[in-house]
Amino acid sequence: MTETAQATGVGSEHVIEGPGLRFRVKRTAMTSEEVFRAELAKVFGRTWLYLGHESEIPNPGDFVRRPVGGRPLFMVRGAKTGAVNVFHNTCTHRGAVVCRVDKGTSKVFQCFYHAWTFDSEGRLVGVPGEDAYGDDLDRSALGLGRARTESYRGFVFVTFDPDIEDLPTYLAGARQYLDYVVDSMDGNVEVVPGTNEYGFDANWKLLVENSIDGYHAASTHDTYFKYLVALGTDLSIGVTGVTKDLGNGHAVLEYQAPWGRPVALWEPLFGEDSKEEIAALRAELTDKHGEEKALVMAERNRNLLIYPNLIINDIMAVTVRTFVPTAPDRVEVTAWELAPQGELPQLRQRRLDSFLTFLGPGGFATPDDLEALESCQQGFASGGVEWNDISRGMGRDPQATDEEQMRAFWRRWRVQLDATD
C-alpha cells in the first residue's frame, strides 16, 4: 500500500493516487457542503491569496476594495508613507463596513454607522462625541485591522495564517513565471483600468482544472480556431508544449501556439505599422536577457496557476484572473488585463481586443469553458459514477495535453484538507 493510500482525512478520502498509473478525484469534492466549509478554513484560510496589483493604486489615497477568500478587504496607498496598506474592511467600533465603494481616492474612510473616521494609514482620526468616553479611549489601539500582506514584483498577496511561510518561499517555482511576465514588460507593468466580472454555477476547482488544461482546447474551442483561420492565422505549427508542477500546488501549462504576442511576436493581425516596433521589442529583450530567455518570454504561452485561485494567462494577452467560491456549485470570477506602461496604442488595442475576444465573458473561450464546467456540475448530480479520472500522461514526460499540472493542484489540496486544526 502506498503512503498516499495510508493517509487519512477529508483530502485522502477524495483524492486517490494509484494503484499503478491512476489518479482519481471523488466527485463529492465538487458537490459536498462539508468539503466546501473545510476549504474555506483550510485552503483559503491557510494560503497566500492574490488581492491586487500595486499599479491599481499609484497615488496617495488611491484604493480598491474586493473580497479575498470570502472576506471583505481594501487596499490603499498610504498618504503619508506611500506604502501599500491592506485592511480588514470593518469598523473597530461596531463592525460595519468602512470602505463602501469599489475604487477611488480618499484621504479618510468614514464609517457611515456612527461616523468613526480612519486615515489611509489605518489610524483612527475621528470619533464624534469623543468626550463621552472620558480619558479611556485609546485611539492608537482602535485603528483598522491590518491583513498580513506581502508583494512580489507588484503582485500583492494577503494571508490569514499567522504561521505561513513568507511569500517568495510560498511561490516556489511560480516566481520564475511571474518574472517572465514582468521582465517581458521591462518591469513597467500596469493593470489596465476596467475588469471583467461574472459568475457561473459549478465548483471552483473545475475552473482551476480548466484554466490549465490543454487537452480540451481543440474540441471545446473549435470555433475560435476556425475564426483564426478566417483571419489568416497559420495554424500549421499546432499547439505543443509541456506541463509542470511548480511546488506548493502551483503549476503551469507552457506551450507554443500559432497566435502572436504583443511582447514580442508579430503576426499580421497586429498590422504592418507595428512590425518594426515589435522587432525592436524583441531585440531589446534579447539584449537584456539573452537569446534563450527572450525566446521564452516572446514566443511561448503560459497558463499559470498560483495555488489556490490565481490564474495568469500569459498568451495573446496577459490576463490576471481570480475566483471566489460562494457555494459548492457557485463561483464569482474577476479578471484584469496586465500591460506595459507606455505601450504603443495599436499594440494596446490589439491586447485589449484579445483580452475580450478570447477570454472575456462574451468572448470565444470563456462561454465555451463555462458551458463545459456547468455541464460537469450537472453531470455529477446524475450519480452512477463516483470518481473523476485525472491520470492522463502519468506514464510519460508531461505534454501540453496531459494532466500533471492538475495533479499538482489536487495533491496540495489533499494535504491541506487532511490537516488537523
Is the bond leading into 19 cis (omega within 30 degrees of zero)? yes
Decide if 394 is inside a domain. Answer: yes
Would you call 104 helix, strand, or coil by DSSP? strand
Specify whether 291 is located in the same domain as 335.
yes
pLDDT number for residue 6: 46
Decide if 35 is inside a domain. Answer: no
Q: What CATH number is given to the structural domain containing 258? A: 3.90.380.10
Q: Which of 74-88, 129-143, 377-391 has the lowest mean pLDDT?
A: 129-143
d(CA 29, CA 10): 9
For residue range 156-188, list pLDDT tens digits in order. 999 999 999 999 999 999 999 999 999 999 899
pLDDT number for residue 23: 98
Specify the residue for cell string 466580472. Answer: 197
Specify whether 139 is located in the same domain as 181.
no
Specify whether 202 is located in the same domain as 60.
no
pLDDT number for residue 264: 79
C-alpha dist (Å) from residue 292 to 172, 177, 299, 381: 22, 15, 11, 49
What pTM, to 2 d.p., does this model score?
Answer: 0.93
Q: How many CB atoms lie within 10 A of CB 395?
A: 9
Specify whether 124 is located in the same domain as 262.
no
**Element containing residue 52 per DSSP (H, E):** strand 49-53
Which residues 6+ apart lie within 8 Å of 307 measured at CB?
47, 248, 249, 250, 251, 409, 412
What domain range includes position 93? 49-160
**How many domains are contained in the chain?**
2
Decide if 146 is inside a domain. Answer: yes
Of 155, 40, 149, 153, nearest to 87 by C-alpha is 149
Specify whether 226 is located in the same domain as 77.
no
> Alpha carbon 178 to chain centroid distance?
12
Specify whether 178 is located in the same domain as 149.
no
Specify whether 190 is located in the same domain as 147.
no
> What are 405's three cell numbers?
499540472
The yes-or-no verdict on residue 3 having pLDDT over 70 is no
Is the bond leading into 419 cis (omega within 30 degrees of zero)? no
Domain boundary among 98, 131, 160: 160
Domain boundary among 129, 160, 191: 160
Specify whether 194 is located in the same domain as 116.
no
Domain boundary among 125, 160, 195: 160
> What are 95's three cell numbers?
463592525
Of 91, 153, 160, 180, nearest to 127 by C-alpha is 91
Of 412, 408, 308, 306, nearest to 45 by C-alpha is 308
For residue range 316-358, list pLDDT tens digits in order. 889 999 999 999 999 999 999 999 998 888 778 878 888 888 7
Decide if 25 is inside a domain. Answer: no
Decide if 43 is inside a domain. Answer: no
Specify whether 181 is located in the same domain as 305.
yes
Specify whether 155 is located in the same domain as 197.
no
Specify whether 346 is located in the same domain as 231.
yes
d(CA 270, CA 139): 57
